Structure 1
Amino acid sequence: MTVAPERPVALRRGQDLVAPELFDRLAAFCAEEYGLDPATAVRVMNEGLAFLWTMGTTGKGAVMAPSRDVDPAWHTFMLHSQEYAAWCEEHFGRFLHHAPNSKTRSGGLMLDVMELMHGAGFAVDRSLWGFTANCNEPACCGDGPCC
């Protein structure tokens, strides 16, 4: 009997949740508004859209918060208010409000958010959540200055 090797499942990207033209506009605005280089703005917007999708589909918005690096994506999308409102209504049937509370951004919370996003099928850019992408434990805990 021959067993076929399992194919890895491709993880989703936040940028696939909106039309390419809209994503490009959002990334360009994010770069300009927040002084990010274009490649970083693409990463931030990608992560922010995945965060919003996870928040909107899990019903756990009350216990989720974006990292400081990802928060500009939410602000960028909200400033494109017509597109943001229509996207929220289409996908969640409601508007996802932004109630800032920077005191909730603990390492544990960021890990929980990343886990929720990964559970929703998204590739997660750990470096935008305060964790390095390639951590070599035990020498590095993943959230300290050693990484």
Structure 2
Amino acid sequence: MTMALERPVDLTDPLTLLPSELADRLVSRITTEHPEISADTTRRIVGQTAAFVAASGQQPGQNLAPSALVDHGWHAFILHTVDYAVFCERVVGRFVHHVPTEDGDEAPGEAKETRERTLAAITAAGFSIDTDLWPDMAECTQCHAGCTDSPNSGKK
């Protein structure tokens, strides 16, 4: 399956990196799994996910991490493995792996530093930041570099 874009890419709006059909499928998956999140917010999450993955691929070894909301988008995108792999190859030039950290690997204050590094990488890649989706992670209690699907995230 190829991912043809039917509209020009606007680097300030990362949602334009995704074909509309794929963006719609990701929005649908996230709103189904997280009905507490509005469709409008979910569409913004999908855009920030595209920016995060694109920036992560340009910053190998930089230990970037999504916010809790953007992590919902990343997990939904990864489940669409063919589309995700094609996106990574087209936008980054290689596959961007999801590599969770082990419990206790994060030092005090590291979540805030990781957030700042991540947002700087997204900005450096030319994308706008939706600040509402990237709250201050200084008080983050999640392990696995902010991954909401971590076994210690409190989800049952």
SS in 2 for 1:113: helix
- Map 1:31-50 to 2 at 5 A: 31-35=31-35, 36-50=37-51
**Is the counterpart of residue 110 in structure 1 residue 115 in structure 2?**
yes
- Residue 127 of structure 1 deviates from its aligned partner by 2.1
Which ranges in structure 1 are unaligned for 5 or more consecutive residues?
Answer: 1-9, 132-141
How far apart, in 2, do the equivalents of 1:11 and 1:92 lie? Answer: 14
**Is the counterpart of residue 26 in structure 1 residue 31 in structure 2?**
no
- Residue 29 of structure 1 deviates from its aligned partner by 1.1
Counting matched residue pairs gives 124
How far apart, in 2, do the equivalents of 1:44 and 1:79 lie? Answer: 16
Q: TM-score, normalised by structure 2?
A: 0.69
Change (3 A) 1:42 1:61: farther
Match of 2:83 in 1: 83
Q: What is the aligned counterpart of 1:130 among 114, 118, 135?
A: 135
Which ranges in structure 2 are unaligned for 5 or more consecutive residues?
Answer: 1-9, 140-156
- The answer to whether the 8 Å contact 2:59/2:121 transfers is no
Deviations 1:53-100 (A, max 9, x none): 1111x2335421111121111101111111111221223332211012
More moved, 80-89 vs 96-105: 96-105
Flag the structure with more relative contact order, 1 or 2, with Cα contacts below 8 A and sequence separation at least 6: 2
How far apart, in 1, do the equivalents of 2:61 and 2:16 lie? Answer: 21
Q: TM-score, normalised by structure 1?
A: 0.73
The structure that has the greater radius of gyration is 1
- Residue 143 of structure 1 deviates from its aligned partner by 6.6
- Residue 26 of structure 1 deviates from its aligned partner by 1.0
SS in 2 for 1:69: helix
% identical aligned pairs: 32
SS in 1 for 2:69: coil
Deviations 1:79-130 (A, max 9, x none): 1111111221223332211012386561221112111111211110122111
For 1:15, the aligned partner's letter is L
**Runs of 4+ that moved beyond 6 A:** none
